[in-house]
């Protein structure tokens, strides 16, 4: 009998969990660290270029026409989450250090994920086309809103400079816009190579995680973060995720959203993008401390992937077998 991993333990998630250990044992140093930094920038630029090329103008228009729903998702991402992040910073320093609290506040101002939000919405038989537009709008606006909120809420902890803003625009916005402009020319290629975006998405996350932990380890991350505080970070991440999932699930009920749309609100509203967050962190925080500031983000990201994978499979089981094919036709466009 072949051994099978639980549904929430994908190879990507296992690699994500293993990489901090790899970086602890074998951190990139010297010339290898410089090469890794350049490779990471290229991977992130390629990722946002491919997401721009993959999102069709019709999907973008369809998403914008649901402007009331989009405002609700954006409010969850950029209003409710930051307020919860501010609440975390009010915890006593004996419970959570100021640096970890700042890391949680940075996490709270990030945009939603793209790839995993869409993937989990598809698994749960939700409205995939709406998830594509919601997650993409969140990420595009996040390039502006995240640095703005970071500057307002994080104060001197971040380095908001013209150079850092140009770096964010150059690495995230410009490639995305270029992909949109080349959508017609690349849509055939991308439809024939559907796994390319997923490979680049996951590969860029793994590169940035390894790079961030390498910097942290070389700067004494594990001596600065004792095991007791690491357990506190894990506990706060679990509570934060439980609160937002409960809030946004309840909001979908109050708004009487269709089941497919409520799933989009739950997944797009409650998730935070490591793909966008880690590159922004390297541009906003001091290089010597970036590993510690992004530790809450990386732990929260792993937990949200596991929990949302379980929820998506649970939602999928609620759909009668006879309705699956019909839902797939309605909710999952071929280009998604």
For residue 156, pLDDT over 60 is answered with: no
CB 282 within 8 A of CB 107: no
Asked if the structure places residue 333 within a domain, the reply is no
pLDDT value at residue 320? 67
Q: In the predicted model, is pLDDT for residue 23 greater than 70?
A: yes
Kindly state the DSSP code that residue 110 receives in the 8-state scheme.
S
pLDDT at position 288 over 60: yes
Q: Determine, yes or no, domain membership for 38.
A: yes
**Pair 232, 95: CB distance under 8 Å:** yes
Residue 98 lies in a domain: yes
What pLDDT is attached to residue 17?
77
**Rounded CA separation 203/42 (Å):** 11
Rounded to whole angstroms, the Cα distance separating 8 from 184 reads 35
Residue 287 has pLDDT above 50, yes or no: yes
Whether 284 maps to a domain, the answer reads yes
Any domain includes 67 = yes
Q: Give the model's pLDDT for residue 190.
A: 81
More confident residue, 272 or 168: 272
Q: Which residue has tokens 């600065």?
A: 224
Backbone CA torsion sign across 219, 223, 224, 229: positive
Burial class (CB in 10 A: 0-12, 13-18, 19+), 83: exposed
HSE on the CB side for 235, CA within 13 Å? 8
Where residue 111 falls (left for φ over 0; alpha for ψ -120 to 50; beta otherwise) is beta
CA distance 242 to 100: 19
Of 12-16, 198-202, 248-252, which has the strongest mean pLDDT? 248-252
Q: Is the pLDDT of residue 336 over 50?
A: no
Q: Are 203 and 266 in contact (CB under 8 A)?
A: no
User: Across residues 260-280, what is the average pLDDT?
Assistant: 85
Domain count, the chain: 1
Question: Hey, how many other C-beta atoms are within 10 angstroms of the C-beta on 314?
Answer: 11
Residue 103 lies in a domain: yes
pLDDT digits (tens, 9 = 90+) for 113-141: 776 787 788 778 888 778 877 877 887 78
pLDDT of residue 176: 76
Residue (of 273, 275, 254, 101) closest to 201 by Cα position:
275
pLDDT tens profile 169-212: 777 678 878 887 888 888 888 878 777 777 776 777 678 778 76
Q: What's residue 155's pLDDT? A: 67
CATH number assigned to the domain comprising residue 208 = 1.20.1530.20
Token pair belonging to 263: 């799933």
Burial class, 4, CB count within 10 angstroms (exposed 0-12 / middle 13-18 / buried 19+)? exposed
In a domain, 336, yes or no: no
Q: Is residue 181 part of a domain?
A: yes
Task: Please state, for a pLDDT cut of 70, what percent of the chain lies above it.
Answer: 80
Average pLDDT of span 147-152: 82
- Domain with 230, as residue range(s), is 11-316
Closest Cα to residue 134, out of 274, 263, 254?
263
If one compares 74 and 218, the residue with the highest pLDDT of the two is 74
Task: Report the C-alpha gap between 126 and 118 in whole angstroms.
Answer: 9
Q: What is the tens place of the pLDDT at every residue in 88-107?
A: 999 998 889 888 998 999 99
Of the two residues 313 and 61, the one the predictor is more confident about is 313
Q: Return left, alpha or beta for 125; rule: phi > 0 is left, psi -120 to 50 is alpha, else beta.
A: left
Please work out, in degrees rounded to the nearest 5, the angle formed at the alpha carbon of residue 269 by the alpha carbons of 120 and 100: 105
pLDDT score of 19 = 82
Residue for token pair 């962190």? 281
Q: Which pLDDT score, from 0 to 100, does residue 45 have?
A: 81
């Amino acid at each position: 009998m072949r051994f099978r991993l639980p549904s929430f333990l994908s190879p990507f998630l296992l690699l994500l969990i293993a990489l901090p250990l790899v970086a602890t044992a074998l951190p990139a140093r010297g010339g290898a660290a410089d090469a890794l930094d350049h490779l990471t920038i290229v991977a992130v630029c390629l990722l946002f270029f491919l997401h721009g090329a993959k999102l069709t103008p019709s999907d973008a228009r369809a998403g914008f026409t649901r402007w009331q729903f989009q405002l609700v998702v954006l409010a969850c991402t950029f209003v409710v989450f930051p307020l919860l992040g501010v609440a975390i910073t009010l915890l006593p320093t004996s419970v959570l250090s100021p640096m970890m609290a700042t890391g949680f506040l940075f996490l709270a101002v990030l945009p939603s994920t793209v790839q995993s939000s869409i993937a989990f919405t598809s698994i749960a038989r939700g409205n995939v086309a709406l998830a594509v537009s919601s997650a993409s709008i969140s990420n595009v606006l996040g390039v502006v809103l995240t640095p703005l909120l970071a500057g307002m809420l994080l104060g001197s902890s971040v380095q908001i400079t013209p150079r850092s803003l140009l770096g964010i625009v150059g690495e995230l916005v410009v490639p995305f816009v270029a992909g949109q402009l080349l959508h017609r020319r690349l849509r055939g290629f991308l439809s024939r190579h559907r796994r390319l975006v997923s490979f680049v998405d996951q590969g860029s996350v793994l590169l940035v995680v390894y790079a961030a932990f390498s910097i942290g380890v070389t700067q004494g991350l594990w001596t600065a973060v004792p095991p007791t505080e690491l357990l506190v970070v894990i506990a706060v991440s679990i509570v934060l995720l439980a609160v937002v999932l409960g809030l946004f699930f309840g909001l979908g009920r109050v708004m009487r959203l269709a089941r497919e749309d409520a799933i989009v609100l739950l997944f797009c509203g409650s998730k935070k993008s490591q793909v966008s967050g880690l590159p922004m962190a390297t541009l906003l925080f001091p290089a010597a401390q970036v590993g510690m500031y992004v530790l809450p983000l990386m732990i929260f990201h792993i937990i949200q992937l596991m929990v949302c994978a379980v929820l998506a499979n649970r939602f999928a089981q609620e759909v009668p077998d006879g309705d699956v094919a019909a839902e797939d036709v309605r909710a999952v466009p071929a280009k998604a």
